[in-house]
Structure 1
Amino acid sequence: MAGAGSGKTKTLTARAANIVDSLDVWPGNILCITFTNKAAREMKERIHAAVGPGAESMWIHTFHGMCVRILRSHGDALGYTRDFTIYDTSDSLRLIKRCLGALDMDEKYFPPKTMLDFISRAKNHYEKPAEFFRETEDYVRRRAYDVYALYEEEQRDANAMDFDNLLLKTIELLEKHEDVRLYYGNKFRYVMVDEYQDTNPAQYKLIRLLCSVHGNICVVGDDDQSIYGWRGADIRNILEFEQDFPGAATIRLEQNYRSYGNILNAANTVISHNLPVSYT
């Protein structure tokens, strides 16, 4: 558990370097996951500087980057070719519009962006479509179920995946194909996750699958810094970490090396008004 400016990324990179140097572990047995491309690049640079050329075999990726790499190698087990297309937001919106037309749903009443947001929210929460869309009194959201079903079918036919499906299809792959799960579970003997407080249910599920062989995981985060609630981030993932991984040790990094005292005092005053987790 570490606050802003306390050296979270530095601690992770130092741990990775120490595992390689002190435990004589092959860098390819280490997986580091973070949330942004910028953070991944920074981590790579630091680890490469500490470990040297051997660090090239270490997996240092965002969640989506890691999933792409896994699916490019094993997506054929799910019926995809290894050169599957990745849909960005513009691609997804165009497909949503085609689906609305095919279902004779007027975009005026069913805005494509709203439909896509509903679908993405369901995926990030890792909820079954029927439960997420149909168990609601919101008519627009209920109709989104029909769009969701056709949207997924069209993606499959096009040998394509949107960003959310990169995670969901990797989860499906690891759940349905034990040989693949065991391969990556044995390969990644050390799993490290940055900004763990921002993981959503789908990312949490994926991490649990990757660690199912050994349970050897190190995460860093701050329950007062969760910023991806709109994307389904669940703060309970970090607060209940010790329940999910019995025997885990909690280390607190409480010294801030980035900000002056007046800034820290102001930040702590704001944080003191945070609602309890049960209200967020």
Structure 2
Amino acid sequence: MSSSSSTRRLSYPQGRQGTRGAYRLVRTPPVRVAPPLLDAAQRAAVDHAGGPLLVLAGPGTGKTTTLVESVAARIARGTDPERILVLTFSRKAAVELRDRMALRIGAARAPQATTFHSFCYALVRAHQDTDLFVEPLRLLSGPEQDVAVRELLAGQPGLERLGLAHVRWPDELRACLTTRGFADEVRAVLARSRELGLGPDALQTFARRIGRPDWQAASAFLAEYLDVLDMQGVLDYAELVHRAVLLARRPDVAERLAQRYDAVFVDEYQDTDPAQLRL
């Protein structure tokens, strides 16, 4: 039996070979891989001692290999692996990064590799206001967000009782409010607003300046949407990163993060959105 990163073997209980019974899967220890041969540009990136560095390269040119070797070099120079953070964009990529670093450096010494959203969730949870949220904040899945947006557009019952007024959309859009296409457009505006760091007031000011009554209505909808999510103790993915950015800007949290990590590596940096870039 095998996986992409390691091999597993069947271990038979004593005296039970060839008979029915319990079996235990034992992970075969990974074999350390030899350092790859780097070209001059890769070696320059690996030898970079400190400060920001942006590495530009096309597909298949060894970007991830260079990242892994950079991490290995820092650890070889004495950096504690726990003080290195490696960020990427999908769970699959994070698992592959962890496996590659474990094979290169050793499983016991490989640093943390995680997605932006996992890092943000841990940061937000660590500073969650227990007076406002008794239960842990929950992430809203894409389908759940779609349902929430469509219910609010359709006029979810009980909003007035909660102190929330129905948003008044321009007359020419009212026939669209219950359609999936319009809900998708509204979701895109909400996500993009948060990616750009815009709150309801900033979005409303921008909409007034360019003369867009539909965007003015969207700003009111954003305020209503965020209030409803807060009352339910949930966050969507764009709001999660936005709140992590706000936290990271607090002097006490910024100081704690600066003390926690000596280096941050980002794989596939070109895929960052503006909110992740601010983070």
TM-score with structure 2 setting the length = 0.66
Specify the code of the residue in structure 2 equivalent to 1:12: L
| Distance across 1 between alignment mates of 2:134 and 2:72 | 36
Partner of residue 157, structure 1: 231
| Distance across 2 between alignment mates of 1:175 and 1:81 | 24
**Does residue 1:84 correspond to 2:137, yes or no?**
yes
| Distance across 1 between alignment mates of 2:148 and 2:120 | 22
| Distance across 2 between alignment mates of 1:81 and 1:50 | 42
Bigger fraction of residues in helix: 1
For residues 220-246 of structure 1, give each alpha carbon's deviation from its aligned partner in whole angstroms, at most 9, with x where no partner exists.
xxxxxxxxxxxxxxxxxxxxxxxxxxx
For residues 25-48 of structure 1, give each alpha carbon's deviation from its aligned partner in whole angstroms, at most 9, with x where no partner exists.
211100111122222111111011
After superposition, the Cα gap between the structure-2 partners of 1:92 and 1:47, relative to the gap in structure 1 and judged at 3 Å, is same
**Does residue 1:130 correspond to 2:184, yes or no?**
no
Q: RMSD across aligned C-alpha pairs, in angstroms?
A: 2.2
Partner of residue 72, structure 1: 125
Which SS does the other structure have where 1:192 is aligned?
A: strand
After superposition, the Cα gap between the structure-2 partners of 1:113 and 1:52, relative to the gap in structure 1 and judged at 3 Å, is same
**Does residue 1:119 correspond to 2:190, yes or no?**
yes
Number of aligned residue pairs? 203
Residue 74 of structure 1 and its aligned partner are, at CA, apart by: 2.1
Structure 2 unaligned spans of 5+: 1-55, 157-165
Partner of residue 176, structure 2: 109
Structure 1 unaligned spans of 5+: 207-280
**Does residue 1:184 correspond to 2:227, yes or no?**
no
| Distance across 1 between alignment mates of 2:148 and 2:57 | 42
Preserved CA contact (<8 Å) 1:40 1:62: yes
After superposition, the Cα gap between the structure-2 partners of 1:118 and 1:189, relative to the gap in structure 1 and judged at 3 Å, is same
After superposition, the Cα gap between the structure-2 partners of 1:109 and 1:65, relative to the gap in structure 1 and judged at 3 Å, is same
For residues 3-59 of structure 1, give each alpha carbon's deviation from its aligned partner in whole angstroms, at most 9, with x where no partner exists.
111100111011112211x22221110011112222211111101112223245x22
Residue 141 of structure 1 and its aligned partner are, at CA, apart by: 2.3
Greater CA radius of gyration, 1 or 2? Answer: 2
TM-score with structure 1 setting the length = 0.66
Partner of residue 198, structure 1: 271
**Structure 1 range deviating more: 196-205 or 104-113:** 104-113
Residue 164 of structure 1 and its aligned partner are, at CA, apart by: 0.6
Partner of residue 241, structure 2: 167
Residue 79 of structure 1 and its aligned partner are, at CA, apart by: 4.2
Specify the code of the residue in structure 1 equivalent to 2:106: G
**Does residue 1:7 correspond to 2:78, yes or no?**
no
After superposition, the Cα gap between the structure-2 partners of 1:121 and 1:184, relative to the gap in structure 1 and judged at 3 Å, is same
Partner of residue 245, structure 1: none
